[in-house]
Amino acid sequence: MAKKKKAAPEGNGASSEAAAGAADRPDMEGAQFGILAQFIKDLSFESPNAPHSLQAPGENPKLEVNVQVQAIKHADEIYEVDLLFESKAQSDSGIIYNVELVYGAMFQATGIPDDYVVPVLYVDAPTIMFPFMRRVVADLTRDGGFQPLMLDPIDFGALFQQNADKAQILDAQAQAQAQAKS
In the chain, which residues have pLDDT < 70?
1-28, 170-171, 173-174, 176-177, 179-180, 182
* Structural domains in the chain (count): 1
C-beta separation of 36 from 106 below 8 A? yes
CATH of the domain at 75: 3.10.420.10
Amino acid (one-letter) located at 144? G
DSSP letters spanning 11-23: SS---HHHHHGGG
Does any domain span residue 16?
no
- Please state at what angle helix 156-181 crosses helix 125-143, rounded to 10 degrees: 110
What does the pLDDT read at residue 22? 46
| Beta carbons of 84 and 76 less than 8 angstroms apart | no
Alpha carbons 16 and 22: distance in angstroms, whole number:
10
**Residue 8 is assigned to a structural domain of this protein:** no
- Rounded to whole angstroms, the Cα distance separating 167 from 159 reads 12
What pLDDT is stored for residue 61 in this prediction?
87
Domain of residue 121 covers 35-173
User: Quick check: is 181 in a domain?
Assistant: no
In a domain, 15, yes or no: no
- Is residue 106 classed exposed, middle or buried when 0-12, 13-18 and 19+ CB atoms within 10 A define those classes? middle
Residue 178 lies in a domain: no
Q: Is residue 59 part of a domain?
A: yes
pLDDT tens figures, 62-85: 999 999 999 999 999 999 999 999
Do the domain assignments include residue 58? Answer: yes
pLDDT at 115: 86
- Domain assignment present for 12: no
Model confidence pTM above 0.85: no
* Count of residues making up the chain: 182
Question: What is the model's pLDDT at position 93?
Answer: 85
Residue 178: partners with Cβ closer than 8 Å, 6 or more residues away: none
